[in-house]
Amino acid sequence: MSNSSIANERYVLFTTFKRDGSAVGTAVWIAPYETGRACFTTGGDSAKVKRLRNDARVTLQKCDYKGRVVPGAPVIEATARVVTGADCEPVNVAMRKKYAIQFRLLEWTTAITSRIKRQSVADAAVIVDFS
């Protein structure tokens, strides 16, 4: 599996690192984004965003929707950065293209949740660089 081909998987275990070096994995939807990159959306106040601001190193592995790694799935090392505001729109486009109606439903439920809780939910995006 090439590094960027992991972006074609349905679910990926996205692992970030705490300040003490311990790893924390989260199952995410991911989409191809530009050559040699991948992306996904997330909440700007999520723990993975906070960890990425301290350490850009990440690993990715094919997993199921619960984050259970597929046996034999290679660990792919990369770096990642967080974007917000208008920089999220190309990521939203990539996610809509790959996940179609499922992503639109997620956007819709996120918009409702944001209004009810009076906070923004998926207001950030992560861009993964494999080079």
pLDDT-derived band at 101 (thresholds 50, 70, 90) equals: confident
What does the pLDDT read at residue 21? 95
- Average pLDDT score, the chain: 87
Lowest mean pLDDT, pick from 7-11, 24-28, 41-45, 74-78: 41-45
Long-range CB pairs of 89-94 (<8 Å, 24+ gap) are 90/33, 90/39, 91/31, 91/33, 91/39, 91/40, 91/41, 91/125, 91/127, 92/41, 92/125, 94/31, 94/32, 94/33, 94/39
**Domain segments of the chain: what residues?**
3-129
- Tell me which fold the domain 3-129 belongs to: Pnp Oxidase; Chain A (2.30.110)
pLDDT digits (tens, 9 = 90+) for 19-64: 999 999 999 999 999 888 999 999 888 899 999 999 999 999 999 9
pLDDT-derived band at 103 (thresholds 50, 70, 90) equals: low
Query: Which tokens in the block code for residue 25?
Result: 């994995």
Q: What is the pTM of this model?
A: 0.83
